[in-house]
Amino acid sequence: MSIIEVNNLTKLYSGGKVRGIENMNFTVDEGELFGFIGPNGAGKSTTIRILMNILKPTSGTARIFDLDCKTHSRIIKRDVGYMPSEVRFYPGASVKELLNYACRLRGSAKGCWRELADDFHLDAQKKFGELSIGNRRKLSIINAMMHKPRLLILDEPTGGLDPLMQEKFFEKLLECRKNGATVFFSSHNLNEVQKYCSRVALVKNGHIEMMPDLANLPMHSIELTTSSDTGQLFDKIRAVGIHKSGSSIRFMLPGVDLSTLLSLLAGMNISDVVITKPSLEQVFHKIYQGEEKSK
């Protein structure tokens, strides 16, 4: 069962002159821990804000629990825990006051947040305006999790957390998933995405560039040493990230079928070849290389 369904979702700004996202398509299945990654300005937060009905789409549809995010937003939000990328609460209110207020709004039991506050070592008596960036993050995480929602939508949740609190955060996230929750989160930390997510969407220029199964990334990293001319090799395979240094060559090969590559290498004078599976970070850099220079 799909918990999130996005179909041809487009958001244009400034009367259609500026692209937010365009023809975005993806689904998130029940019980999945789904990563949403890309550079700044790729369209991640725009997509999340449309899911939360903070922004209205220009065209296309977004559905959660098989309900339209725009017309059934109030019903959907009863079972969603949302953490925005920017943490903003009333600066003069204490942590305790803010979380109890959220309990009343949701109809949850007063103090349902206390166990989480203890786990994250958050002082409930401190005012929001007195909190460090990391403690503000903890408050936002607790606010999203405390009512045990069916779906967690988290925008850059670990930014500002120290390594111990990041570990605690994912411990709680996996606990939520074990209890039946679905998790959709964006992140710049590619190691944590690869470690915890089953699938990931790589967003570039408002589109889904790739949506691989992280257990089997559809790319190989190749390192070879050869005295042969490699021009014909690269004419026949779709290599990316080619780097040459003398007789040593490194590149990445999209796809999992290596038969074409191996048959081509058999006709060359190869003194060494190493084929490995790249990390998500390596794939990310190859997909987005040159993007910053073009801006």
What pLDDT does residue 289 have?
A: 63
List, in order of start, the domains of the chain with CATH numbers. 2-214 (3.40.50.300), 218-277 (3.30.70.260)
Task: Please give the full DSSP string across 28-87, using - where no structure is assigned.
Answer: EETT-EEEEE--TTSSHHHHHHHHTTSS--SEEEEEETTEETTTTHHHHHTTEEEE-SS-
Q: Which helix H or strand E contains 202, and what residues bound it?
A: strand 199-204
Catalogue the long-range contacts made by 57-61 (C-beta closer than 8 Å, 24 or more residues apart): 57/9, 57/10, 57/11, 58/10, 58/11, 58/12, 58/16, 59/8, 59/9, 59/10, 60/6, 60/7, 60/8, 60/9, 60/10, 60/23, 60/24, 61/5, 61/6, 61/7, 61/8, 61/9
| pLDDT at residue number 235 | 82
Question: Which tens digit of pLDDT belongs to each residue from 15-41?
Answer: 777 889 999 999 999 999 999 988 888
Q: Are 45 and 54 in contact (CB under 8 A)?
A: no
Single out the residue of 210, 175, 179, 180 nearest to residue 196, CA to CA: 175
Give me the residues of the chain with pLDDT under 50, please: 290-295
CA angle at residue 285 from 282 to 289, to 5 degrees? Answer: 150
CA–CA distance, 218 with 226 (Å, rounded to integer)? 25
At residue 256, the pLDDT reads: 52
- Angle (deg, nearest 10), helices 133-145 and 163-178: 10
DSSP 85-152: SS----TTSBHHHHHHHHHHHHTPPTTTTHHHHHHTT--TTSBGGG--HHHHHHHHHHHHHTT--SEE
